[in-house]
Amino acid sequence: MFAGVGPALIDYIHTIDQYPPKGGHAVVKSTVKSAGGAGANVIYGLSRYGIKCSFYSTIGMDEDAKLFKDSMKGVYLKLSVTHERTGKVDIYVDSDGERTFFVHPNASGILRLEMDDEDFKMNDYFYLDPFPSEKSLDVHTDIAKKAKEFGKTVILSMSYPYVIMGLEKLKSILKYTDIVITSKAEFDILNADEEDILQFVDLFILTMGKNGAKAVTKDKSFYHPAYNVKVVDTTGAGDAFAVGFFYCYLRGYDLKTCLKIGNYVASYNIQRYGARNFPPLHEVESYVSHDYEDV
């Protein structure tokens, strides 16, 4: 079973023509509401592709909590109520598909997770996605350490809340991590080399937007270019990539194929508004054995 441990969020996606200058204003053309949270998006996508999944998080007592739980049907959920309101993200997307996030932590910022030995026994992989809480790294480090005690695989989504902490701070969790996935923009903030990460982990995955993605091990590097598509909304592009990549990884495909399908699923997602737009599984399987320039 593939477990996700990260924030349960509801995305409010607002479309605008362009971002205003500081002190200016922009007109919101439309708003779409959907379940989100990077790790939750990954778990949602993998579960839709037939992977048995679980998700651990904190949640509120509001209508957004119901929306989130309804969105994760088919996933084993352990959600602790820690606040009246569920975590919320206001996302503004301009006409070029670029997005900016404003996070309201609410329940996702109060971490009281319910995980016992049975949870570590039943899950084979733990995908750790940062919570909007200063306690997030400590909580994830404890989970990673215990997962390794049970002989499980730990995957760290090394996104913005973690890279801004610096490499020295992250070493506490990296020593219990098997796989790291991050974007180039976030990795640049960390100001580290690939070798700095590979001294701890077996596999380092770097997404590079329109420049594709690569996967690096201690002795090899693999690359696959991005697909040429019209961008509507880049929200969840990295999550969609992770869905495609880890679906293939769990199926035992080689890393080049994992990258190809990761790019394909991401390219499908960014042609639509929202973070949970994934191609049908039969199309994914078709792309495993064939390659196409455009999607």
Contact 126, 5 (CB under 8 A): yes
> What sections of the chain are H helices per DSSP?
38-48, 63-71, 117-122, 136-149, 160-163, 167-174, 184-190, 194-198, 237-250, 255-269, 281-289
Instruction: Give the closest residue to 247 by CA, choosing from 71, 36, 53, 35.
Output: 53
Contact 111, 144 (CB under 8 A): no
User: Structure tokens of 215?
Assistant: 């996967």
Element counts in the chain: helices (H) and strands (E): 11, 13
Domains and CATH numbers, the chain: 2-8+37-88+106-289 (3.40.1190.20)
Contact 163, 185 (CB under 8 A): no
Can you give the pTM of this predicted structure? 0.92
What local confidence, expressed as pLDDT, does residue 232 receive? 81
Largest distance between two CA atoms of the chain: 53
Phi, psi of 117 (to 5 degrees): -60, -35
User: Structure tokens of 290?
Assistant: 């064939």
Collect all residues with Cβ–Cβ distance below 8 Å to 234 and sequence separation of at least 6. 93, 97, 98, 99, 209, 270
Contact 116, 142 (CB under 8 A): no
What local confidence, expressed as pLDDT, does residue 269 receive? 87
Give SS3 for 168. Answer: helix
Facing residues of 91 across strands? 13, 101
What local confidence, expressed as pLDDT, does residue 295 receive? 54
For 38-78, write each residue's pLDDT tens digit.
999 999 999 999 999 999 999 999 999 999 999 999 999 99
What is the spatial distance between Cα 217 and Cα 173, in angstroms, rounded to a whole number? Answer: 19
* pLDDT < 50 positions in the chain: none
Q: Is the dihedral of CA 182, 184, 187, 193 positive or negative?
A: positive
What local confidence, expressed as pLDDT, does residue 235 receive? 75
Collect all residues with Cβ–Cβ distance below 8 Å to 241 and sequence separation of at least 6. 207, 213, 262, 263, 265, 266
Alpha carbons within 13 angstroms on the beta-carbon side of residue 62 total 16
Instruction: Give the closest residue to 155 by CA, choosing from 185, 138, 176, 186.
Output: 176
What local confidence, expressed as pLDDT, does residue 102 receive? 94
What local confidence, expressed as pLDDT, does residue 233 receive? 75
Neighbours of 127 (CB within 10 A): 26
What is the spatial distance between Cα 20 and Cα 80, in angstroms, rounded to a whole number? Answer: 38
What local confidence, expressed as pLDDT, does residue 287 receive? 83
